[in-house]
Amino acid sequence: MDFSLTEEQKARRREFYDTCKELDKKKPPSLVGFEAIYELDECWEYNLSCAREFAKRGWLALAWPPEYDGRGDMMDKVLFAEARGYYGIPGVDIFGVQMLAPTLLQAASEEINREFLPPIARGEVMWCELWSEPNAGSDLATLSATAVRKGDEYIINGQKTWNTGAHRADWGFGVFKTDPSARKHHNMTFILLDMKTAGITVRPIPYLDGSAPYCEVYFDDAHVPARNIVGQEHEGWAVVNLLAGFERSGINEIMSMLRGLEQLVAYCNQTKRHGQPLARNPLIRNRLAELACELEAARALAYRVADLQNRNEMSLMDASAGKIFFSELGERFAFLATDILGPYGQVRTSRWAPLNGVWEKMFHEHFITTISMGTNEIQRNIIAWYGLGLPRMR
Ligand SMILES: Cc1cc2nc3c(=O)[nH]c(=O)nc-3n(C[C@H](O)[C@H](O)[C@H](O)COP(=O)(O)OP(=O)(O)OC[C@H]3O[C@@H](n4cnc5c(N)ncnc54)[C@H](O)[C@@H]3O)c2cc1C
């Protein structure tokens, strides 16, 4: 792919960066890391206000077709994600805007698109993902929550778990077993549901530190309109795979690491140990330089995934390769940063915490991305099976 930008693209990139820079000035200091958006009311409110700002500019509908009031193209979407990642600005619902909307555009009926896309573009409706269950994570196809068709409704029963931000979400998209007698992968349906539906109970899962950005969701005879399906009835697995590709391509994470690197380099230039700036330590310099190279490689990989998406040529393997690389790079980065910061790097809410305690938080959050969106072991299986044609192990 050609990496050079046209003059118009450069101008739009400036607009994205300028807008995010302005929004950064209003960001609550408590917004450190991704989980805070779902944990803290002030961060959630900020998230919604950023969504409104972006919606006004049409940026929540980037790369959508004109019939759904889309603006710009895939490259604009990438440049916008870069700007948001660099400044750490929320406001783009990862579930609604990033995952569900492109999936609907490829797999849903026009009726569904006309109903569900406009509120996403207006930043009015926030979504959550209702896939994993206590006994179905990596092997999602073994899920057991059911949706039984009765007339023009499904009656849903069962439990989902690890649902990010489900306590904040207005709507959820889930997969449920609709034909227990059919063979695996052809027995489930992808369903959109209002989280306020009677019979749905959301329970946050508390962390040891008291925060709870993830939830369990229980369904007890929840009635959902049967027309709220995406794709064909019983063929939800195809929709899951389509959406998973959008879930795993992450340029904004890479840009947020790039900003983190700049801040860490500044810290190393300003902080003296044994009378010398840290930046003069050859070991530290070497490791920072190595990381800078890896980040450039990650960025090129993310551009490649975006380019393939643009041409509708993205395979599962491409998204998996990007996901493995950026999540494990994040782990290496967090390890390096806390190593350089020393023991105080392990402290978050203290006046002794360097760089606002961000690396204590990042150490946990980067680890999470190796599990969420499908574990990296599973991504490696996808590459082995579907990408390289290697045999499955028994
Ligand atoms: C922070 C966080 C946020 C999440 N958010 C959401 C969300 O919003 N919505 C949602 O639906 N889910 C969400 N999940 C769930 C996530 O998708 C699952 O945790 C993930 O798919 C793994 O499933 P599991 O936890 O059941 O682990 P398991 O599937 O039980 O796996 C346990 C271990 O075994 C390994 N393993 C399993 N099978 C194989 C295999 N065939 N080959 C090699 N290794 C294997 C796994 O890699 C893992 O290391 C989230 C999870 C986390 C941690």
* pLDDT attached to residue 254: 87
Give every residue of the chain whose pLDDT is below 70, as ranges: 1, 247-249, 394
| Exposed/middle/buried for residue 203 (C-beta within 10 Å: 0-12, 13-18, 19+) | middle
* pLDDT attached to residue 394: 66
| Structure confidence by residue, pLDDT tens digits, 270-329 | 999 999 999 999 999 999 999 999 999 998 888 888 788 778 787 778 888 988 999 999
Q: Report the alpha-carbon distance of residue 185 to residue 173 in Å, rounded.
A: 17
Atom of ligand 1 nearest to the CA of 373: 17
Among 371, 390, 393, the mutation site with the greatest number of ligand 1 atoms within 8 A of its Cβ is 371
Q: Residue 33's closest CA among 185, 207, 150, 151?
A: 207
Q: How far is the CA of 53 from the centre of ligand 1 (A)?
A: 34
Domains of the chain and any CATH numbers: 7-92 (1.10.540.10), 128-239 (2.40.110.10), 248-387 (1.20.140.10)
Q: How much is the pTM?
A: 0.94
Among 372, 380, 383, the mutation site with the greatest number of ligand 1 atoms within 8 A of its Cβ is 372
Residues with CB under 6 A from ligand 1: 129-132, 137-138, 162-164, 214, 368, 371-372, 374-375, 377-378, 381
* pLDDT attached to residue 219: 98
Atom of ligand 1 nearest to the CA of 129: 9
* pLDDT attached to residue 210: 79
Q: Which residues pair with 225 in a beta bridge?
A: 153
Among 35, 93, 127, 138, the mutation site with the greatest number of ligand 1 atoms within 8 A of its Cβ is 138
